[in-house]
Amino acid sequence: MNRTFDRRDFLKLGGAAAALAAAGCATTPQTKARVVVIGGGFGGATAAKYIRLWDPAIEVVLVERANLFTSCPISNLVLGGSKTMEDIRHSYDGLRKYGVQVVFDEALAVDAAKRSVKLERGGELSYDRLIVAPGIDFMYDQIAGYDAAMKTGRVLHAWKAGAQTIGLKKQLTQMKDGGVYVLSVPLAPYRCPPGPYERACQVASYFKKAKPRSKVLILDANPDVTSKGPLFKKAWAELYKGMIEFRGNAKAIGVDPKTNTVKLEVEDVKGDVLNVVPPQRAGDIAVKAGLITANNRWCGVDWRTLESTAVKGVHVLGDATLSAPLMPKSGSMANQHAKICASSVVALLNGRSPNPQPKIANTCYSYVSDDEAIHVASVHTWNDKDKTLTTVPGSGGVSAARNALEGAYAWAWATNIWQDMLG
């Protein structure tokens, strides 16, 4: 708090800030503080918008490397063929009407003592509070040969939507009928717990129409399906009979693109398309900023404020956090983290104490076909005894059965959460 209202901070501006000024976005006299947000995903973009919504006197600069947002939720439907890349790509322009300054640049380093972020092209940005919402990066070294295999383009994860989604779709399109698509799932926790099983449905749905003799083989490092297991298994049995094989305790330890092989601890498995999703950790900038506190992977936070337990004045959102109990790494959760964070940042910068009792809700929809979906929902609230967010007893649950009504709700959810973060 101590430097919050120091005018000099606004004068120590580097290239990015100078560019903002040149673009007519200079700090106005009414501005009481500046918040910098690194990462324009479900967490970062939502936080940027909501801080402006709740206190327009706070200057918000969002630093994002891509000039279009590409959504991971719904990206499996691009593989299935019922949606396109255009459907999951969205502009950041909508944030401008809230007065969020969007800077397309790469954050290279954070100097928490100086309270500044170093950008690749735009010099330095000073901040009063920093929000780091970097999503995940991959631990390629956990799978022997992965780096090299990925460089050949033969092995993809497609676990960040974008170029790899397009690449994987192309491989599926080019695969011969009768081929085997192998999907390797890392040990939990990873981004989007039901994501792999939805992807299996979507690829099988495409095969059913275009290559009916083909197979989906799920090699899961976990002992069993980690989310909505009975609902997914029922869909596999009823909609894609004989097409999807699930193997638990099947952790990938290596890949060889020359022989099209995924190496497990006890055997090698061959496939025609190898979609190997490596284990994950908080995004690189969180590592560089010293925000990692758990297992060299995740960022510990105070769940009342999302402030880092390692670095004061820095908040971490979304998949990068060390998840609270039973909390999935989902777009939904990142959206809700962002609102706890926005509320507390606004309170703190106005000299008030943050909301002592935050409560947030999660819903993850998964499409098991073109038009039928299932969900898992939960409500998480501050628990004074455990000093974390825990689920409200009796709340939450899963769909009774897959259904088309929820297929419609799932698409509406995606449209509305994109709007809630970007528009």
To ligand HEC, the closest distance from the beta carbon of 409 in angstroms equals 5
List the one residue from 54, 98, 104, 409 that touches ligand HEC (CB under 6 A). 409
Q: Using an 8 Å Cβ cutoff, are 155 and 41 in contact?
A: no
CA distance 99 to 58: 10
Residue 50 contact partner, candidates ligand HEC, other proteins, none, CB within 5 to 8 A by sort of partner? other proteins
CB of 34 to ligand HEC, least distance (A): 31
Residue 104: which of other proteins, ligand HEC, none does it interact with, CB under 5 to 8 A by kind? none
The footprint of other proteins on residues 373-392 (CB under 8 A) is 375, 377-379, 381, 391-392
Q: Is 309 in the site for ligand HEC (CB under 6 A)?
A: no
Pull the structure tokens for residue 44: 């970062």
Q: Which is nearer to other proteins, 5 or 237 (CB)?
A: 5
Residue closer to other proteins by CB (options 83, 375) is 375
29 binds other proteins (CB under 8 A): no
Q: Using CB under 8 A as the criterion, what x/- string covers residues 52-91 for binding other proteins?
A: -xx--x----------------------------------
Q: Closer CB to other proteins, residue 216 or residue 306?
A: 306
Considering the rule CB under 6 A, would residue 413 count as an interface residue with ligand HEC? yes
For ligand HEC, the closer of residues 102 and 376 by Cβ is 376
What does the alpha-carbon distance between residue 101 and residue 58 come to, in Å, rounded to a whole number? 11
The residue (of 76 and 335) whose beta carbon lies closer to other proteins is 335
The answer to whether residues 51 and 60 touch, using CB atoms and an 8 Å cutoff, is: yes
Site for other proteins in 281-340 (CB under 8 A): 332, 335-336, 339-340
Largest Cα span, the chain: 68
* Residue 144 lies near ligand HEC (rule: CB under 6 A): no
- Nearest Cα to 4, choosing from 304, 313, 310? 313
CB 342 to ligand HEC: min, Å: 17
Please count the residues of this chain forming the interface with ligand HEC, following the rule CB under 6 A: 4
Please count the residues of this chain forming the interface with other proteins, following the rule CB under 8 A. Answer: 52
Would you say 386 and 12 are in contact if contact means Cβ atoms under 8 Å apart? no
Q: Which residue in the set 142, 164, 260, 363 belongs to the binding site for other proteins (CB under 8 A)?
A: 363
Q: Which is nearer to ligand HEC, 68 or 379 (CB)?
A: 379
Residues 32, 89, 208, 288: which binds other proteins (CB under 8 A)?
A: 32
355 scored as a contact of other proteins (CB under 8 A): yes
The distance of closest approach from Cβ of residue 84 to other proteins in the complex, given in angstroms and rounded to an integer, is 18
Residue 361 touches ligand HEC, criterion: CB under 6 A? yes
Smaller CB distance to other proteins: residue 163 or 405?
405
* Secondary-structure breakdown of the chain: helix, strand, coil percentages, each rounded to the nearest 5: 30, 30, 40
Q: SS3 string of the chain?
A: CCCCCCHHHHHCCCHHHHHHHHCCCCCCCCCCEEEEEECCCHHHHHHHHHHHHHCCCEEEEEEECCCEEECCCCHHHHHHCCCCHHHHEEECHHHHHHCCEEEECCEEEEECCCCEEEECCCCEEECCEEEECCCEEECHHHCECHHHHHHCCCEECCCCCCHHHHHHHHHHHHCCCCCEEEEEECCCCCCCCCHHHHHHHHHHHHHHHHCCCCEEEEEECCCCCCCCHHHHHHHHHHHCCCCEEEECCCCEEEEECCCCEEEECCCEEECCEEEECCCEEECHHHHHCCCCCECCCEECEECCCCEECCCCCEEECHHHECCCCCCCCCHHHHHHHHHHHHHHHHHHHCCCCCCCCCEEEEEEEEECCCCCEEEEEEEEEEECCCCEEEECCCCCEECCCCEHHHHHHHHHHHHHHHHHHHC
Q: Residue 212 or 397: which CB sits closer to other proteins?
A: 397
Least distance (Å) from other proteins to the CB of residue 103? Answer: 23
Q: Is 403 in the site for ligand HEC (CB under 6 A)?
A: no
Cβ of residue 363: shortest distance to ligand HEC, in angstroms? 3
For binding to ligand HEC (CB under 6 A), which residues are involved?
361, 363, 409, 413
For binding to other proteins (CB under 8 A), which residues are involved?
1-2, 4-5, 32, 49-50, 53-54, 57, 332, 335-336, 339-340, 343, 347, 350-352, 355, 357-361, 363, 375, 377-379, 381, 391-392, 394-397, 399, 403, 405-406, 408-409, 411-413, 415-417, 419-420
